[in-house]
Chains A and B, each alone.
Chain A
Amino acid sequence: MVLIMADELVKIDHMTKKYDENTIIEDLSLTIHEGEVVVIVGPSGCGKSTLLRCINGLEPIQGGSITFRGESIDGKSKHINEIRQRIGMVFQSYELFPHKTILQNITLAPIMVQKRKKGEVEKEAEELLSRVGLLEKKDSFPRQLSGGQKQRVAIVRALCMHPEVLLFDEVTAALDPEMVREVLEVLLSLAEQGRTMVIVTHEMSFAKAVADRVVFLDHGEIVEEGRPVDFFEHPKTERAQKFLNTFTYDKVEKAK
């Protein structure tokens, strides 16, 4: 029996995730509280994406439990569709629906899944689009947008479902450098609004700015976690120090 506190939104309890015989995540426990921004960092292949996919019930787990407000998250359960409506997810590769316009991309699920009124949903979608500066694109198709614009639409699409927590998986990793900022600014403003978010990113200065808590994952386990100032200025473990060092460059000594 897992005890759930009132402000605990997502509770991962001694979770194990394997692909066949390969253990990707072992005995991981992590709790996301309401209003908290948790940033997950770690080397490539350490299991960050896998962790987010498990939280959304897209991957079965082999041990432990994941709950959302006390309800078990299980991709095979009947309630999963209802739970997923309350968990927003944004993918690295946007995953907009190419055959639908921007507006239809955003309104499809609220109308079909939540049975909301078309007019009301469209009005909200337009409001959200104008907030990210993309209202004039509402009748365009995804292929007509830049990567940064597509990613902002993907965020709006998730927001329009009124999720209680948002999961972001390296949402700027596929973007050209000049577009990274426009997307990260949207995330920063969401954080200011007090939204609960779990963000996987390789943008360390952004992580430092947005996080309430940083979780450092390596080989599928949480090696270190704490406030961003502590983690980035004074990492306690050697693995975290080594990881952070990969983001700084020593001056090149040029031979005269």
Chain B
Amino acid sequence: MIMSWEIMRAYLPLYAKALLLVLKIGWIGIALAILIGVGCSMIRHFKIPVLQRLVSVYIELFRNTPLLVQLFFLYFGLPKLGLDIDAEVCGALGLALLGGAYMAEAFRSGLEAVEPIQMESALSLGMSRRQAFLHVVLPQAISISVPAFVANIIFLIKETSVFSAISLMDLMFTAKDLIGLYYKTGECLTLLVIFYLIILLPVSIVGSLVERRLRYAGFGD
């Protein structure tokens, strides 16, 4: 198959626009997902009554349904309840809710991986439970969860490829649209792959650098 650089260059601005959209929604969605995830895992870790139950239901619900279905509910369901929702907000929200459930699980296993005796050793030095949690348990839990966080971020960015279903002009939508119009399948798909790599490779690289820097907390010996 011979590909035309001219055509690819001509399509570039459309892809760039889609890239910015994915970055914008992705960044907001992922930031919210981390907040939700950390919040939920704290609720579970400290076994806060009632909320703990709700969090479990939320996590199971969102981890076990596809993002596409969640987006449909938000995009077509909420207006039925009288809540009009913008497609971009809907995308970010969907990503945040799905991501929050995954981040909560990732962070919970990080918290659980810190041996209780670390807490006791901090207490035996006269620290309060709060001090021990903040200065001894939490930093270790965070660095243990970093690999899972990075994996989740990559997963969530890939999931943005279903945004086209709620008529967001994401990368997937752009590619499909252009193929439908001009039948330049090879060029369009190549650009699609390149643009996903542009987003995801830096995430992977930065992620593994951070992981390497934080690896100290992975073991006691």
Nearest CB to that of A56 among chain B residues? B124
* CA distance in complex: A141, B118 (Å): 16
Min CB distance A58 to B, Å, is 5
Q: Is the CB of A99 within 8 A of B216?
A: yes
Choose from B117, B124, B135, B140 the contact partner of A93 (Cβ within 8 Å). B117
Q: Is the CB of B126 within 8 A of A109?
A: yes
How does the 8 Å CB contact mask read for B117-153 relative to A, with 1 for contact and 0 for none? 1101111111110010001100110010000000000
Task: Tell me the chain A residues, 156-173 only, with Cβ under 8 Å from chain B.
Answer: 157-158, 161
B219 close to chain A: CB less than 8 A? yes
Q: Is the CB of B123 within 8 A of A99?
A: no
Q: A95-B117, A99-B216, A143-B219 given as contacts; is B127 within 8 A of A113 (CB)?
A: yes
Chain A interface residue count, CB cutoff 8 Å, equals 30
B217 close to chain A: CB less than 8 A? yes
* CA distance in complex: A56, B117 (Å): 13
Choose from A81, A88, A98, A108 the contact partner of B220 (Cβ within 8 Å). A98
Q: Is the CB of B219 within 8 A of A58?
A: no
Nearest CB to that of A150 among chain B residues? B221
List, in ascending order, chain B residues with CB within 8 A of A91's CB: 117, 120-121
* CA distance in complex: A93, B139 (Å): 20
Q: Is the CB of B217 within 8 A of A157?
A: no
Choose from A98, A112, A113, A114 the contact partner of B140 (Cβ within 8 Å). A98
Q: Is the CB of B216 within 8 A of A114?
A: no
* CA distance in complex: A81, B123 (Å): 7
How does the 8 Å CB contact mask read for A98-125 relative to B, with 1 for contact and 0 for none? 1100000000110011100000000000
List, in ascending order, chain A residues with CB within 8 A of B118's CB: 95, 97
* CA distance in complex: A157, B124 (Å): 11
How does the 8 Å CB contact mask read for A41-74 relative to B, with 1 for contact and 0 for none? 0000000000001001010000000000000000
Q: A98-B140, A99-B139 given as contacts; is B120 within 8 A of A112 (CB)?
A: no
A82 close to chain B: CB less than 8 A? yes
Choose from A93, A109, A143 the contact partner of B125 (Cβ within 8 Å). A109
Q: Is the CB of B124 within 8 A of A112?
A: no
Choose from A84, A97, A143, A147 the contact partner of B124 (Cβ within 8 Å). A84
Min CB distance A148 to B, Å, is 13
* CA distance in complex: A244, B131 (Å): 43
* CA distance in complex: A158, B123 (Å): 12
A196 close to chain B: CB less than 8 A? no
Q: Is the CB of B124 within 8 A of A58?
A: yes
* CA distance in complex: A112, B123 (Å): 12
Q: Is the CB of A112 within 8 A of B135?
A: yes
Q: A97-B118, A99-B140 given as contacts; is B217 within 8 A of A82 (CB)?
A: no
Nearest CB to that of A114 among chain B residues? B126
Nearest CB to that of A75 among chain B residues? B123
* CA distance in complex: A109, B131 (Å): 9
Q: Is the CB of B123 within 8 A of A58?
A: yes
Q: Is the CB of A98 within 8 A of B216?
A: yes
* CA distance in complex: A54, B60 (Å): 39
Nearest CB to that of A144 among chain B residues? B216
List, in ascending order, chain B residues with CB within 8 A of A114's CB: 126
* CA distance in complex: A87, B120 (Å): 13
Min CB distance A231 to B, Å, is 29
List, in ascending order, chain B residues with CB within 8 A of A58's CB: 120, 123-124
Nearest CB to that of A89 among chain B residues? B124
List, in ascending order, chain B residues with CB within 8 A of A16's CB: none
Choose from B123, B128, B135, B219 the contact partner of A108 (Cβ within 8 Å). B135
Q: A97-B136, A98-B216, A99-B139 given as contacts; is B131 within 8 A of A113 (CB)?
A: yes
Q: Which residues of A contact B (CB under 8 A)?
A: 53, 56, 58, 81-82, 84-85, 87-89, 91, 93-99, 108-109, 112-114, 141-143, 147, 157-158, 161
CB-CB nearest 10 A-B residue pairs: A85-B126, A95-B121, A109-B125, A89-B124, A113-B126, A84-B126, A99-B217, A99-B139, A98-B217, A81-B126
21 A-B residue contacts at CB 8 Å? A58-B120, A81-B123, A81-B126, A81-B127, A84-B125, A89-B124, A91-B120, A93-B117, A95-B120, A97-B136, A97-B140, A98-B217, A98-B218, A99-B139, A99-B140, A99-B217, A108-B125, A109-B127, A114-B126, A141-B216, A158-B125
Q: Which residues of B contact A (CB under 8 A)?
A: 117-118, 120-128, 131, 135-136, 139-140, 143, 216-221
